[in-house]
Structure 1
């Protein structure tokens, strides 16, 4: 029981200091906090050990850095109660020589707790701000197809009326009980109910995406929660889609052997015993082709990025603002927005998606960052020797944002709680860096873009908000919603509103 209370605390907190979630959990249930690593009761140590075991961490019973980091990782909000028994059975089987016997015991909720039919209907009740209805429908359809390809199940989407499975996005408490309330970005991203309630709920405030590193991939989270609505509990396989911690998109098959065996035990094999696996690479290309050809929002008066988030923003050598989202980009000049175009039509050999971009007006080159690599372009031409590995330059992977900082005449890169200074001439990191992000007072952690305007004013973006930094005064002088307040970003149908001066 103590372990499950600890998991509840993990699900409803997303800050890293030991005072939360760890100390808060101890105080709430009457335990005494002693120091950063040890506690006065054996019960708490046991709970921590169990959490570490379930999370594939070294079992120490101490709240070490790895355990605290895992506590803050985005995870499914469904309880691990049934999973814990199943995982114990598996471990016992290994040590008693019964490995393989009753291996699937309790991999679903209860005996007989499954749908008593193999043709199920589903309905999408709403969608998040960061994705259009068409994008959500595509992710949901692919997620259901993932399960029907490997089992005897078939699914049909309904647009009105009652359905077997209902999918909805909510914020905060939504009549599921206080323990299931969504807590904003981070923590539990979603939860679902087993048959026969057949509902899956997703946190509206999260940044949902279908491509790229930033945000949470709706397809993977959706497929995981659909597994719960079919009756599956969490898997002991850390590489399984049904792991408590959401799987990352890769080029490999999305479902593991453990996932397939679990659903087939409930609903049998597909007709003709033909199992068709979907690889992450296939889904990514499907998303790319769909986004380029038919986004329902492209018929609106404002571009798609205005309705949600973007991955990066910068300027080009002609002074146009470049906005990047997924595999596409827009060019904004004097408030006029171009049609969306694939990145590689303008920058050949660039990655399909990017995470950060920066234009250096001193060498008039564009720098792009994605994963472990950096590209540099002169106009539309990739410079010789690029892309380069970030590690060879002393830089981290998966940057939050990059921008040219006029007072230094160099590139600044944000990653988590630190920032780096990249010398564009020597392509090396400056000495005494990285430094803490708190040097940039008023700038939040996790910004997804930054841009220096021609007058030297620096703008930071996080989700739908912006902050304007006066580089002379070194302080934030304005903040607000960028789609409403910044005309030059291309989202306004009417003359811009004035910045909200601080």
Structure 2
């Protein structure tokens, strides 16, 4: 055999072996482990579902039995089905439920934070958000064959938007003429030009585009499948308000939730007259945009005010907002109700022994104790009582004197401390500063100015 023919023979042999191995790998789960599935059709349907909604890159990218079992378990986890790893009746019923068309990230591509949140059954956010807190939205058209009136469509969308304006710093404006909007809302069917075609009745009910900057004019837009039967209230069809609340959540940066009962679960939950954002979802939104600005005596406590007009510190204590200035503090609800006297209350009457004005304050999630920082020392309080052996030196925590602010992000059990242009991240569980810190503020909190006098209003 000549040299060229010999080389060609071996190249063809290798190609044949690779092809046969790939064929075996992709078909082995079907024919080698019959107990895993009830039929080949079920497997094909499940693989198509995994591909369509982001669990797989393609139906042929299953590499062996163990991989397929893990994929099935992941789908079962997301859809709140017993994680058997088999395509049983409950699983097939769940993946046939109508749902949102936004994909669930593949397991191997989920971030560390997402895995932590998944384990603790928390919300997920992708940290892409609107840079402008003033968001315009516009309804471009209305359902073509529906019992809904245009006024009911307007009411459903407006009520969904109101849920987000009630808990964040975002201010929404509805555009009713032909003007530009950040979020365009419309009813479409089948292939409607955005690369994500609808599939007719009782499949993908709607989808939306997160504000990532990668979808161009589609960023933030919401599309409802015009083939579906949207309704105003009652068990019939799909409640438009509920679907709109979910999809606008995506428009603002929320991803799907694994928490049963959350607005951001991927499948339609059925009609719920009291449908509303959960506490975890509100926290996620406030991480992205900050909480709604509290109002006292008709005037907002403005976190964007110049530093010489700012408050000394602010934090959440027992789900109430505490704002500190000089030797007094004000206590408010999450949103806008002032619970204290208009002139405030004495800091020293509640936190005896701490000098004023204070530098920073936060409440620890593990025990509810409150830590107050002033100069080179910090105090710890259990309710109103100072904990024995305090105050202590801030150097014991690895922190500098005269801090500017502190923020606790209890979903990761981390506290951020700020001074001048630097930030330190403290691990509450290990009680130590995380490796590599401090960093420049802009390396950790992109877009934040060097001044941190007002940063505490961006609540955990």
TM-score, length-scaled by structure 2? 0.48
* Larger Rg, first or second structure (1 or 2): 2
